[in-house]
Structure 1
Amino acid sequence: MTYSLKKEKKYSYIEAGEGAPIIILHGLMGGLSNFDGVTDYFSQNGYKVIIPELPIYSRSLLKTNVKSFAKYLHDFIEFKGFKDFILLGNSLGGHIGLYYTKQYPQKVKALIITGSSGLYESAMGGGYTKRSDYEVIKKKAQDVFYDPAVATKTIVDEVYETVNDRNKLIKTLAIAKSAIRHNMAKDLPKMTTPTCIIWGKNDTVTPPDVAEEFNELLPNSDLYWIDKCGHAAMMEHPNEFNTILNTWLQERGL
């Protein structure tokens, strides 16, 4: 299903379904449509799915960082009045979710991370020296997935446009530095929020040992693998991703 953006005050977001809120946080170059499979499934199975459009490229350079995005998320949640919600984040979105949960543990009922930065990532801010070469950018986009066909022309075109926009490229590099600066290794052992870690076995951006480290450091976490899967499990294997997550939520009474 195609979802239309709602606009209220300074916020743009998708909202679908009724029930317990699941707030989804997209990644650096991840569109809201990347979560269509998750939105379809959970909005029809007793949850309200909300995907805010994060201000990745629209803020000043000083506010282009993980901490500032978590503050934006906090302001959005306060504006909407959400209580006892579930956070789900991919890549940079997972990192923002972790940072927010560290700051407001009493507000987050559960956290789901997939391909999350926060400990390590290999591709967020590098490899754009040949950004004007479409084929190079196409290969870089394809490498995010196990199956290169998942990187449609639309996805490749969006990445190409982003890295060839000087303002967006500068902010992309700033976010990459921020992700390294806001390493969560020392924070995770103190975070007791129930956490579901769903990871692609073939993720080359945040490799499998990153997922294992998250699982070791987070005291109340469960780790699940998806085979033949890269950095965006909810896109590459939406049915398996949804089944794993739904089973985990049910087992946890969420």
Structure 2
Amino acid sequence: MDFVLKEEHGFSYIDEGEGEVLLLLHGLMGALSNWEDVVDRFKTNYRVIIPMLPIYDMPLLTTGVRSLSKFVHKFIKFKQLSNITVLGNSLGGHVALVYVLAHPENIKAMVLTGSSGLYENAFGGSFPRRESIDFVREKVQYTFYDPAIATDEMVNDIHKLINDRHSVLRLLAMAKSAIRHNMKKDLHKMNLPVCLIWGKDDKITPPEVAVEFSEELPNAELHWIDKCGHAPMMERPVEFNELLSVFLDKIKA
């Protein structure tokens, strides 16, 4: 990825382009590069910002979805952002939901793709054979419809992550926090425009999760991408970006 990672005031982030703000939030084991195709497509007409979420840097006792939402709030205040369209994948979508509930005045619209917040089936809740690269490869491939998307580099990065005691404890704490922090009772309070872009073959947040989001959120539209798993912006970037573009044009109009 050719984008410049900026380091400022304790924040690490990518900030590309000019215009209305698209704030992209990555998932639990995601990376800034997960959004590379979105940045490439939209940086000519939007200011696209991706903060690195401090999932593995927080004290263990405060590691959770709510703490990440507070971090995002501090980042938004520091950068003096407003009229934001926030996009979240997986845990990033969950963080977006918590943030929108607390600070609706800052957010124009929200895009969720493979978002947690209702139900998820990530890594089966434990790592019974952390030392096994084959186990990790199998679990990473589970994320995608096409297992070839799970590159050796991706598998090795996650294998290293879950074999580090400091990181894996926070990973498990964050996953448990996401399960505890169910958003169903709060979704009806979010009246902003919401676009749900979902892989029809998502096994981590399966299609019924997307349907439930669309039923509970007052102003939501749901779009499916065939032959696609948990990270549509990575696996089917052309289709994802086209759906996103139509939504952005609609809310701009």
TM bracket (short chain) = over 0.9
Aligned to 2:215: 216
Q: Bigger shift: 162-171 or 122-131?
A: 122-131
Aligned to 2:5: 5
- Is the Cα–Cα contact under 8 Å of residues 34 and 234 in structure 2 kept in the other structure? yes
Aligned to 1:17: 17
Gaps of 5+ in 2: none
Local SS of the residue matching 2:105: coil
Counterparts in 2 of 1:60-99, with a 5 A limit?
Answer: 60-99=59-98
* Cα distance change on mapping 1:198 and 1:33 into 2, 3 Å: same
Amino acid at match of 1:236: E
Aligned to 1:37: 37
Aligned to 1:149: 148
Amino acid at match of 1:129: P
Distance 1:79 1:124 in 2: 34
The alpha carbon displacement at 1:176 in A equals 1.1
Distance 1:159 1:233 in 2: 19
Aligned to 2:109: 110
Q: Could you tell me the TM-score, scaled by structure 1's length? A: 0.98
Cα RMSD, aligned residues only:
1.0
The alpha carbon displacement at 1:199 in A equals 0.3
Gaps of 5+ in 1: none
- Is the Cα–Cα contact under 8 Å of residues 85 and 110 in structure 2 kept in the other structure? yes
Query: Does structure 1 residue 126 correspond to structure 2 residue 125?
Result: yes
Distance 2:123 2:135 in 1: 15
The alpha carbon displacement at 1:185 in A equals 0.2
Aligned to 1:191: 190
- Is the Cα–Cα contact under 8 Å of residues 126 and 172 in structure 2 kept in the other structure? no
The alpha carbon displacement at 1:6 in A equals 0.3
Identity %: 52
Local SS of the residue matching 1:132: coil
Distance 1:207 1:227 in 2: 13
Amino acid at match of 1:167: H
The alpha carbon displacement at 1:248 in A equals 1.1
* Cα distance change on mapping 1:125 and 1:93 into 2, 3 Å: farther
Amino acid at match of 1:4: V
Structure 1 residue ranges, 4+ long, deviating more than 2 angstroms after superposition? none
Q: Bigger shift: 243-252 or 222-231?
A: 243-252
If each structure's helix is expressed as a fraction of its own residues, which one has the higher value?
A: 2
Cα deviation code 1:184-235 (max 9, x no counterpart): 0000011101100000000000000000000000000000000000000000
The alpha carbon displacement at 1:125 in A equals 6.1
Aligned to 1:160: 159
The alpha carbon displacement at 1:127 in A equals 3.9
The alpha carbon displacement at 1:124 in A equals 4.9
- Is the Cα–Cα contact under 8 Å of residues 27 and 90 in structure 2 kept in the other structure? yes
Distance 1:101 1:169 in 2: 28
- Is the Cα–Cα contact under 8 Å of residues 142 and 150 in structure 1 kept in the other structure? yes
Amino acid at match of 1:86: T
Local SS of the residue matching 1:225: strand
Distance 2:53 2:217 in 1: 25
Distance 2:163 2:202 in 1: 25
- Is the Cα–Cα contact under 8 Å of residues 125 and 172 in structure 1 kept in the other structure? no
